[in-house]
């Protein structure tokens, strides 16, 4: 039997031969499945996709896909992804990493990605802990959280990534969880399809250093699809209202999607290049200018 299927690509076409070495039970196993499904639904061939990550457990993810991958430097997935997108605008560019990578060392890049509106989908696997380095507090760890290096509990308020991204002006902000696999894949797909910078926060439990209340069973019990509360994803203020409950509620779905996406940085650059090219010297004469000098 050779099923032809109804799509040009299937999820398996995006799965590499490399086997994940995450801890058994890790939420990231399901996340990568969701990415395979989303990419199959988009239908771009793997060689037209660049997948960039930083450092951390979740940053291993590009290697588990057949796309071009770059497991880069801690916190620097976004600037590298931006460079790739500008160098080859035809590529579909994805960036991924964890909450430590994205909101701590890499946190300074977020507002700039948003204000430039780079056409990149950024997927964060948020587990509220630094898992790879054996369980230290991360920027999304809740206040009071004890860890191997905070025996008396964290004194800091956590970052609220959803609220940050909305406040920065991101055109697409969503949250997903492997408790709802089809929902998660659909959100990733929508993020990739959004023409501009799209942010997806995925609650992906750490089975080794996460607490009982952060595991899949507990998340399933508190998950609330935004559709079920009649949320209007075209309303940024409504999105900010729901996003305030990050850490106390688990709202899943698209918080905000700009119904009229502004041009991307790539579009503006192209437009500028076309406008300026009228007065530009022919390429062969540029060297002459230097020689005359």
Q: Which residues bind another protein (CB under 8 A)?
A: 1-7, 10-12, 19, 21, 23-27, 29-30, 33, 37, 40-41, 43, 134, 148-149, 151, 178, 181-182, 186, 189, 205, 207-208, 215-217
Q: Is 50 or 219 the residue whose CB approaches another protein more closely? A: 219
Q: Is 29 or 168 the residue whose CB approaches another protein more closely? A: 29
The minimum distance between CB 121 and another protein, in angstroms, equals: 16
Q: Is 216 or 254 the residue whose CB approaches another protein more closely? A: 216
The minimum distance between CB 150 and another protein, in angstroms, equals: 9
The minimum distance between CB 190 and another protein, in angstroms, equals: 10
Q: Is 20 or 111 the residue whose CB approaches another protein more closely? A: 20
Beta-carbon contacts of residue 189 (< 8 Å; ≥ 6 apart): 37, 38, 41, 42
Q: Is 42 or 167 the residue whose CB approaches another protein more closely? A: 42
Q: Is 150 or 244 the residue whose CB approaches another protein more closely? A: 150
The minimum distance between CB 34 and another protein, in angstroms, equals: 10
Q: What is the dihedral of CA 224, 225, 227, 233, to 10 degrees?
A: 100
Query: How far, in Å, CA of 121 to CA of 221, rounded?
Result: 28
Signed CA dihedral, 172, 126, 42, 270: sign only = positive
Query: How far, in Å, CA of 215 to CA of 222, rounded?
Result: 11
Query: How far, in Å, CA of 107 to CA of 148, rounded?
Result: 23
The minimum distance between CB 66 and another protein, in angstroms, equals: 16
Distances in Å between the alpha carbon of 227 and those of 62, 157, 216, 254, 271?
31, 29, 21, 9, 38
Classify 52 as helix, strand or coil: strand
The minimum distance between CB 182 and another protein, in angstroms, equals: 6
Please choose, from the candidates 255, 26, 250, the residue with its C-alpha nearest in 3D space to the C-alpha of residue 129: 26
């Amino acid at each position: 039997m050779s099923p032809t299927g109804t799509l040009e690509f299937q999820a398996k076409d995006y799965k590499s031969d490399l086997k994940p070495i995450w801890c058994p039970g890790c939420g990231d196993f399901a996340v990568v499945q969701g990415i395979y499904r989303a990419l199959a639904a988009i239908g771009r061939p793997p060689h037209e996709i660049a997948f960039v990550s930083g450092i951390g457990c979740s940053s291993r993810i590009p290697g588990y896909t057949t796309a071009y991958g770059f497991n880069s430097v801690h916190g620097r997935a976004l600037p590298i992804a931006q460079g790739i997108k500008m160098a080859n605008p035809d590529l579909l560019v994805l960036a991924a990493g964890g909450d430590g990578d994205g909101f701590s060392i890499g946190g300074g890049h977020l507002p700039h990605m948003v204000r430039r509106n780079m056409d990149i989908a950024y997927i964060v696997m948020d587990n509220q802990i630094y898992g790879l380095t054996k369980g230290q507090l991360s920027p999304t760890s809740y206040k009071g959280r004890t860890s191997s290096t905070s025996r008396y509990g964290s004194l800091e308020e956590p970052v609220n990534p959803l609220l940050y991204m909305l406040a920065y002006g991101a055109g697409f902000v969503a949250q997903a969880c492997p408790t709802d696999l089809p929902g998660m894949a659909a959100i990733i797909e929508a993020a990739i399809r959004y023409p501009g910078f799209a942010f997806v926060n995925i609650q992906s439990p750490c089975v080794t250093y996460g607490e009982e209340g952060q595991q899949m069973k507990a998340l399933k019990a508190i998950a609330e699809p935004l559709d079920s509360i009649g949320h209007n994803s075209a309303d940024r203020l409504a999105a900010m209202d729901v996003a305030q409950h990050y850490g106390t509620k688990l709202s899943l779905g698209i918080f905000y999607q700009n119904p009229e996406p502004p041009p991307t940085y790539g579009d503006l650059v192209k437009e500028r290049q076309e406008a300026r090219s009228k007065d530009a010297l022919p390429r062969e004469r540029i060297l002459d200018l230097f020689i005359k000098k």
